[in-house]
Amino acid sequence: MCKLVAFVMAVVLLASNVASAGPLTDAVSRYAQATRPVKGSSGENKMLWPGLGLIVGGGVLALYGFSHTTGLEVGTNTTGTVVTATEKHATGVGFAGLGIAGVGAYLLLKGQKEARGQKRISFGLNSVTVRF
């Protein structure tokens, strides 16, 4: 008798779990929905540090290129009495630094635009949700 009661209780418990699952396709879709990875919508700028690094690095390179002298040119006239000295600057390096800083600014703005796209306002039945 005790074995029969244990068997009936086991059948009832197992059958209740199967019966509450509903149709198999619904159960599978609910399980898939529950285990689906949620995208990280943190709203942060993923290009912040690379963009700032390129802006700072490009600015330093431009400052070096436009301010650092690479040498002197000394010239004399035909009589040999006048000596002119002109400094040469690495303007090519300065313009390259400006270009690198421009790429950094582009990355920074692009990342900010992508982060801003994740903001949204949704209206519920009794609530308003604002996600930043």
**Mean pLDDT estimate for the chain:** 76
Per the CB < 8 A criterion, the answer to whether 111 and 51 are in contact is yes
* Closest-CA residue to 99 (of 69, 64, 59, 65): 59
Residue 39 has pLDDT above 70, yes or no: no
Residue 26 has pLDDT above 80, yes or no: no
Band of pLDDT at residue 105, cut at 50, 70 and 90 = very high
The pair of structure tokens assigned to 107 is 């990355």
Per the CB < 8 A criterion, the answer to whether 89 and 70 are in contact is yes
Residues forming a β-bridge with 130:
121
* Closest-CA residue to 47 (of 119, 132, 112): 112
Give the helix ranges, DSSP H, for 1-90.
Answer: 2-21, 24-35, 48-67
Band of pLDDT at residue 47, cut at 50, 70 and 90 = confident
Report the pLDDT averaged over residues 94-111.
93
